[in-house]
Amino acid sequence: MSESDRQKIEQFRKDIQRHDHLYYVKDQPEITDREYDRLMEQLKQLEAKHPEWVTPESPTQRVGGAPAEGFDTVVHKVPMLSLDNTYNVEELRDFHKRVVKNLGTEEIEYVVELKIDGLGVSLTYKNGKFVQGATRGDGKTGEDITANLRTIKSIPLTLAGKFPKELEVRGEVYMNRKGFEKLNQQREKNEEAPFANPRNAAAGSLRLLDSRITASRPLDIWVYNVGYFEGPAFKSHFEMLEGLREFGFRTNPSSRRCQSFEDIEKMIGEWQGKQATLDYDVDGLVVKVNAIAAQNKLGSTNKHPRWAAAFKYEAEEAETVVEKINVQVGRTGAITPVAELTPVFVSGSTVSRATLHNEDEITKLDVRVGDKVVIIKAGEIIPKVVRVLDRDRKGRKPKFKMPKTCPECDSKIERPEGEAVWRCVNAACPAQLKERLLHFASRNAMDIDHLGTAIVDQLVDTGKVKSFYQLYDLKLEDVSSLERMAEKSADNLINAIEKSKQAGLARLVYGLGIRHVGQRVAQVLAQTYGSMDTLSDAPYEDLEAIDEIGPKIAESIREFFDEKHNKKELCKLKQHKLVMIQGQKAGGGNLSGKQFVLTGTLESLTRDEAKRKIVEAGGRVTSSVSAKTDYVVAGADPGSKLTKAQKLGVEILTEKEFQKLI
């Protein structure tokens, strides 16, 4: 019986791996998402039955694990060099001339490929299994980000084909533009700072301590090189790319062999401006001598290989005119100046607005209405004004002045010391209110269908809704009297509002729009406290002791619940019978709601494994001991946490006792 489960597990893993490869690497799926989900579900069930058979290479392990405390350092067996940059054809020709001179022949074959604008990583496989992934770091040592890399579906966890005994491959992790935009939209909704460009987003995602969050980020990889390996060598770079493809890696299809410098020039011409047609950022081309023997003969300096060079395109710029400078009011009252431009085509799309960020930026640029400006769109999705062209022209319009009051509600605006942003102080500012209501109703919050911009605008403008709870006071006749509202739609809206009362604690906490509380933090809070009442009473120290919550978030949560208006809001929502209790606390396992602190070294399992087990059983791990701590697990050489636990009378578990408990 068991033996057949074992075989089934192996078969499911093989099948899923094959479908992952077809979907994520070859872009040729053979089964529907549904069928794929079923396979995964079946594997998960079998693994739940036999947890001892779960290996890190199982496709179920791509979801990420409990947060790490930091990254270990990895020494690269073969240094990860960087490329020498060239910025025009002449500089690149100089590189070619040096290669010709050093090799003593004019007949050199190159491979030209895209230079992906992401983050260089190294992936190590032993006996075909992915064992370690690292950042480039300073080239000699990087950081161990295995757990994060494992979540990227196009990185094979086991190799296919005739792979060498040990293999270290190198590639670039990146985020495509669509994924980046979606992530930023979500971040803005959650009041998290958006990433400046896809590269930063990829880098940030790879450096998260919680690999579960990395798993939710749309990351991908192009693999382009081999570092250390034990096994038969490749004869050429092109052959190596083919080999890597065979082992299951994703290699970029644009790589071409070039027999002459003219061929290279042709490719440079072809890609000029064509980069925008890709759905990911490229910051140039890489030219590599193809034959490995020739590469070895050329060797490297201590920084760059002499057999390769990067060719960088200048970031695309365009000229246009500032027609107007507007200011926008966001959900938190932040007032952002925006330049409205004469539409201009740059890097693949028409641009008609560019953010001016804040007052200081405008002062720095000295940009005014009517100015001819240069805008740049280099990787960044939101275009930037980089300089003013006709500043010395006569009859220039006066300097832009930030409004003295909120452009929406005329209330006072404030710029807190040390901050660059002006904010409207009126919590009831209609612009803010509208944004807040839209957030409250959004898909990931209370999910109130039919409550879109047009309706929210009218509800606020007619004074029918001034806070969240008033949505629940709305009667059919209030809604059907709105413009362009058919009877049926009014009915639908009222039903959707009613239904949202069941959304649950986590969605409600998120929907309230507490600064710095995104979806994930809201979930953690709901799981930890179980009810709005307990959460709203949680002292600052308690909040801050939660792993995912730092001082800034804790402070903002406290501030929110201490505010008089918010107290009233919650009280009213309660009267309307919104669900304010977590249905199932923290997974509902046998450690449901229990708080753990780990100290010292455990013998039978790593800290991450211990954490995972606690979380899986419904418990929580915090970093410091407080009166709220239920258990301190003490391994060898425990630290001050043990003393503190003794002082507070917290129950202390040995590793054995802990094992028994879980």
Write out the residues near ligand IVH by the rule CB under 6 A. Answer: 81-83, 113, 115-116, 120, 136, 172, 224-225, 286, 305, 308, 310
C-alpha to C-alpha distance for 29 and 22, rounded to whole angstroms? 5
Q: Which is nearer to ligand IVH, 40 or 203 (CB)?
A: 203
CA angle 302, 304, 308 (to 5 degrees): 150
Write down the catalytic residue from 77, 101, 115, 464: 115
Determine which helix (DSSP H) or strand (DSSP E) holds 324, and give its type and residue range.
strand 317-329
SS3 of residue 133 by DSSP: strand
Minimum distance of ligand IVH from residue 163's CB (angstroms): 21
Least distance (Å) between residue 277 CB and ligand IVH: 18
In angstroms, what is the minimal distance from the CB of 251 to ligand IVH? 9
**Of residues 544, 508, 534, 513, the one with CA closest to residue 523:** 508
CB of 85 to ligand IVH, least distance (A): 7
Q: Known catalytic residue: 115? A: yes
Q: Shortest Cβ distance from residue 389 to ligand IVH (Å)?
A: 32
Q: What is the CA radius of gyration of the chain?
A: 29
Q: Please, what is the minimum distance in Å from the beta carbon of residue 622 to ligand IVH?
A: 37
Which alpha helices (H) appear in 354-468, and where do they start and end?
A: 359-365, 430-441, 453-461
CB of 660 to ligand IVH, least distance (A): 48
Select 309 or 621, whichever has its Cβ closest to ligand IVH.
309
Contact 145/174 with Cβ under 8 angstroms?
no
Q: Using CA atoms, how far apart are residues 184 and 179, in angstroms rounded to an integer?
A: 9
Closer to ligand IVH by CB, 115 or 150: give it.
115
Min. distance of Cβ 217 from ligand IVH in angstroms?
19
Say how far apart CA 148 and CA 211 lie, in whole Å: 5
Q: Say whether 325 sits in a helix, a strand or coil.
A: strand
Instruction: Please list, in sequence order, all residues whose beta carbon lies within 8 angstroms of the beta carbon of residue 641, skipping any fewer than 6 positions away.
Output: 597, 599, 624, 625, 632
Nearer to ligand IVH, 16 or 308 (CB): 308
Contacts of 224 (CB under 8 A, 6+ apart): 113, 116, 170, 171, 172, 241, 251, 252, 255, 286
CB 23, min distance to ligand IVH, A: 23
Find where tokens 């092109």 sit.
238
Q: Which residues pair with 119 in a beta bridge?
A: 173
Q: Nearer to ligand IVH by C-beta: 280 or 658?
A: 280
User: Token digits for 43?
Assistant: 């594997």
Q: Which is nearer to ligand IVH, 20 or 117 (CB)?
A: 117
Q: How far is CA 633 from CA 541, 620, 626, 652, in A?
A: 21, 13, 14, 6
Whole-Å CA distances, 9 to 19, 45, 48, 613, 616 = 15, 10, 11, 22, 21
CB of 463 to ligand IVH, least distance (A): 56
Nearer to ligand IVH by Cβ, of 236 and 527: the residue is 236
If the CB atoms of residues 172 and 220 are measured against ligand IVH, the closer one turns out to be 172
DSSP of 493-553, one letter per residue?
HHHHHHHGGGS-HHHHHHHTT-TT--HHHHHHHHHHH-BHHHHHH--HHHHHTBTT--HHH
- Per DSSP bridges, beta strands 84-86 and 308-311 are parallel
Q: Of the candidates 562, 552, 563, which has an alpha carbon nearest to the alpha carbon of residue 516?
A: 552
State the DSSP code for 451: -
Complex with ligand IVH: residue 245 or 450, whichever CB lies closer: 245
Q: Name the residue nearer to ligand IVH (CB basis): 240 or 329.
A: 240
What angle is formed at CA 481 by the lines to CA 479 and CA 487, rounded to 5 degrees?
Answer: 70
Query: What's the order of all strands across the beta sheet hosting 631-634?
Result: 620-621, 595-599, 631-634, 651-653
Q: Residue 54 phi/psi, 5° resolution?
A: -70, 125
Closest residue to ligand IVH using C-beta atoms: 120
Residue carrying the six token digits 């299809």: 253
Smallest gap from residue 14 Cβ to ligand IVH (A): 31
Of 423, 515, 543, the closest CA to residue 193 belongs to: 515
440 closest CA partner among 317, 370, 522: 522
The nearer residue to ligand IVH, 110 or 224, going by C-beta atoms, is 224
Residues with a catalytic annotation lie at: 115
